[in-house]
Structure formats: C-alpha cells, structure tokens
Amino acid sequence: MRIDELLAAGTTRSFEFFPPKSDEESTVLEASLHELEQLQPSFVSVTYRGGRESRQRTFDLVTRIEQGGRITAMAHLICVGHTRSEIRDILKNYSDAGVSNVMALGGDIPDDPLLVSSEFAHALDLVELAREVGEFSIGVAAHPAGHPRSSDLVSDRRFLAEKLRNADFAVTQFFFEVHAWTRLVGELGELGVTKPVVPGIIPVTTIGGIGRMAAMGGSVPPNLVERLEAAERRGGPQAVRDEGVAAAIELCGQLLDAGAPGIHFYTMNRSTATREIHHALFA
C-alpha cells in the first residue's frame, strides 16, 4: 500500500532497518524481521548511504520485503553523488518491482571524493524528479532541532515546508521530548503545511548511547541523562536499559496524545526494545 494512504486511514506503526554488510548482520536482521513482522507494522523502511553496493543491498532488501506480500516497504534514496539519469533508473527499477514508497533524502557527503559530485542541490530536487518518474508516495526527513547544515531554524523550517508541500509526509530525526515534535508541527502549520509528520523514536538503553545519540544528531536532554545515570547507580546496565525503554514509552504516549499520526521506530536492526515499547503502546 501507499504510505500516504496508510496515514490517512489511521495511526501507523513503522520500523526502520539498514541493509546488512556481513553474514553476522544478516542473521541478526533476519531474526529481527521475523519477530517484528508478528507485530503487523504499517510499513518498514530501509536505509541507504550511497554507492553502488549499498544501493543494491537496499534494493534487494526492499524488494524482498515488498514482494513477500506481508509488509509494505519504503526505500530510502539519496541524491548526493547521483546524476538525474541514475536516479531515474533507480526509481524505474523500484516501480517495476512493485515498490511505491520512497524516502527522498539529501544524504551525507560520502568519504569517497568520486561520489561527492551531484546533479541535485537538495532533497527537494529528488522529490520533484520522483513525481515525474512514477506514482510514488514520497516521504522526506524533518529535523526538530533543525538540519545540521541549516544556518538558522527559521530558514530550516521554510525549506522543510517547501519540501513537504511537494512530498506526501515527513519522518523526523529522533528526539527525546514531546515539545520538539509539537513545536515543529506548529511552525510548519504557521507556514501553511499540515501534511503528516511522523515522529522518529529510538530508546537510549546504555550510558554510552548518550554520546552516540549526540554524534548522530539527537542530543539527549539533561533530565533524561540524569534518569539514566541514576538508574546505573541503582542497578547497573540492566536498570539503564529498563529506564531508557520506560522513557521511550512515556514519550510515545505523549506524542500519540498530542495527535502524532504514527510512531516510527529506529530499530538499529534489533527487535527486543522496539517490541517492548510497541507492546506497551499498542497491545
């Protein structure tokens, strides 16, 4: 199904995976897919970092999930390092394979200098090309704290609003306080954009994860850091994990109460914490 139609029908529950790079990662992913499939998600998405090998891994995983007939799949697509003809071919291949949902992203600048050049300036260009190529349901990324390369929040919101006017929905970078989402949606509404913005959620389940989240673009707020550190003093790593899952459950509940159109779980290709949060919210 098209994701815009799923969002119009009611609250969605979705999971994000990345393509495995080794046999060990494949084993972990297969187990997670099997376990999470039992939860009957609205859709799943598969990331792509750029380069021919990564692109093929994403294509293979997305088409396998979609053609399995049990779960709707969305393919991530980035414009950095691509020509327009290349992207046209990729989109046509997805369309021919029966994949109708894509996430249009600008993408991180790759380490390989040969991949830096691009015929696209922004993700908006990719959205517009996808509209030309086929009948896709198109998602875009939204950053509650602003895109890392934005000069200020005002211009960030303006660019996001323009992008979302041309797309069907957005999925946010992960965050940890409900007001980050409500502020984002409110500011887009002031710009006349009311399309669905699905909050992206990931639990912090280790003390080391606090630093990793910041490096990935989502700083953990001081009050949550204090909760996790208190849990560690109280009961060690297991207590930290339990507290992180509990905090994520609280946040998701607040988001749903605030009118979020769904919850998008960043799984890191593992299912246990995601299943616990999902069970608390939707069982």
Structure tokens at 231: 């849990």
Structure tokens at 35: 């376990």
Q: Phi/psi at 216 (nearest 5 deg)?
A: -90, 0
Q: How far is CA 88 from CA 158, 164, 198, 218, in A?
A: 27, 21, 27, 32
Q: Which of 5, 16, 25, 187 is flagged as catalytic?
A: 16
**Do the Cβ atoms of 47 and 16 come closer than 8 Å?**
yes
Helix (H) or strand (E) holding 190: helix 178-190
Q: Is 16 a catalytic residue?
A: yes
**Residue appearing with tokens 């009611």:** 10
Radius of gyration for the chain, computed over Cα atoms and rounded to the nearest angstrom: 18
User: Which residues does 16 contact at the CB level (< 8 Å), separation at least 6?
Assistant: 44, 45, 46, 47, 200, 264, 265, 266, 267
**Do the Cβ atoms of 16 and 268 come closer than 8 Å?**
no
User: Which residues does 200 contact at the CB level (< 8 Å), separation at least 6?
Assistant: 16, 171, 172, 173, 174, 175, 264, 265, 266
Which amino acids are annotated catalytic? Answer: 16
